[in-house]
């Protein structure tokens, strides 16, 4: 009986070792909800076909993802700003992923179609508070729908648009992509989010941007050259230089298939 048990135990041991060798590696992502919703689901599905890896995807904001990465609660984070000096000092590394254009949107019923950089600044500073001043809904006050305070879309917009604090006629959403649904529900609202979240949506209107007296379209040329004024670089962050399957994933995103996922989602490539 002992002679029979030993071979069985040997087989089980070999099987267990083989299972461990071929076990899928877990890559946990946290951070920008824009990257998660627009990029990570498709990218993860495509990458899993090439490597034995599984993904756990969570998204909220750039700052939140960096906190989770520093706490060791994810292997890769995503966000819309360069790392701060103190974050670099803690060992974090950034990798440029793609360019993200800000789209400024209003309800489809709003007759307002074009907005200048000067008007945007005045709106966000509370200097223009009524749609009458812009040819929008008559007799109505402007409601500003903003990304959350910790989101890169909010922090970068402060610099790009030129405001310190939004006026009283403002509401913050929990995640930047949710501005889309909110603007659909508020006929007097204006908000901003990634153009990738807006393209093809017929329930909102994307305002045409006038900058330095010239209408600037959102396209690859204007983003890569920096001519379109409201944009941010999106990054992947890792603790130390990317290694293992995380490095493979980032290299995948830099390759032709990953770049196609990025552009098909409505984002743009750095020069």
pLDDT of residue 266: 93
Given this model, what pLDDT does residue 98 score?
Answer: 95
Whether 131 and 106 map to the same domain: the answer is yes
pLDDT score, position 23: 53
Decide: pTM greater than 0.85: no
Q: Note whether 45 and 129 are same-domain residues.
A: no
The domain in which residue 56 lies consists of: 24-98+234-264
Do 50 and 151 belong together in one domain?
no
Whether 107 and 74 map to the same domain: the answer is no
How many domains would you assign to the chain? 2
pLDDT at 248: 97
120 and 202 both lie in a single domain: yes
In a domain, 37, yes or no: yes
Residue 10 falls inside a structural domain:
no
State percent of the chain over pLDDT 90. 83
Examine residue 202 and state whether it is found in any structural domain, yes or no.
yes
Residue 89 lies in a domain: yes
What pLDDT is recorded for position 2?
Answer: 47
Alpha-carbon distances of 118 from 36, 107, 124, rounded to whole Å: 32, 21, 10
User: Is 8 part of any domain?
Assistant: no
Compute the chain's Rg from CA coordinates.
23
Same domain, 108 and 94: no
pLDDT tens digits, one per residue of 44-86:
999 999 999 999 999 988 999 999 999 999 999 999 999 999 9
Residue 36 placed within a domain: yes
**Whether residue 123 is found in the same domain as residue 151:** yes
128 domain-assigned: yes
* 43 in the same domain as 122: no
Which stretches of the chain score pLDDT less than 50? 1-3, 5-22
Q: Are strands 76-79 and 231-239 parallel, antiparallel or unpaired?
A: antiparallel
Together in a domain, 118 and 196: yes
> For tokens 């899928």, what's the residue?
24
Instruction: Please tell me whether residues 220 and 104 are part of one structural domain.
Output: yes
Whether 111 and 140 map to the same domain: the answer is yes
For residues 255 and 253, give the distance between their C-alpha atoms in angstroms, rounded to a whole number: 5
Check which CATH number belongs to the domain holding 201 and give it.
Answer: 3.40.190.10
Q: Which two structure tokens, joined as six digits, stand for 220?
A: 């690859």
Tell me whether residue 81 is in a domain: yes
Residues 121 and 185 in one domain: yes
- 240, 93 contact by CB (below 8 A): yes
């Amino acid at each position: 009986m002992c002679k029979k048990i030993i071979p069985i135990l040997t087989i089980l041991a070999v099987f267990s070792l083989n299972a461990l060798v071929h076990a899928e590696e877990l890559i946990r992502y946290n951070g920008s909800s824009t990257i998660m919703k627009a990029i990570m689901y498709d990218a993860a599905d495509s990458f899993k076909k090439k490597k034995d890896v599984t993904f756990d995807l969570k998204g909220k904001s750039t700052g939140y993802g960096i906190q989770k990465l520093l706490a060791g609660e994810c292997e890769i984070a995503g966000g819309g700003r360069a790392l701060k000096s103190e974050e670099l000092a803690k060992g974090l590394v950034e990798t440029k992923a793609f360019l993200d254009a800000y789209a400024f949107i209003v309800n489809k019923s709003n007759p307002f179609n074009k907005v200048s950089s000067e008007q945007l600044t005045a709106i966000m500073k509370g200097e223009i508070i009524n749609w009458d001043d812009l040819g929008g809904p008559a007799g109505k006050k402007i409601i500003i729908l903003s990304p959350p305070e910790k989101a890169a879309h909010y922090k970068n917009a402060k610099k790009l648009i030129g405001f310190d604090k939004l006026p009283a006629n403002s509401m913050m959403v929990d995640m930047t992509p949710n501005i889309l649904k909110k603007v659909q529900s508020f006929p007097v609202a204006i908000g901003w989010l990634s153009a990738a979240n807006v393209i093809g949506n017929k329930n909102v209107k994307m305002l045409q941007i006038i900058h330095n007296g010239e209408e600037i379209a959102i396209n690859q040329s204007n983003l890569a050259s920096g001519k379109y004024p409201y944009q941010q670089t999106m990054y992947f962050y890792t603790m130390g230089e990317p290694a293992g399957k995380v490095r493979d994933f980032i290299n995948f995103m830099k390759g032709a298939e990953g770049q196609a996922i990025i552009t098909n989602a409505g984002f743009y490539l750095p020069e």
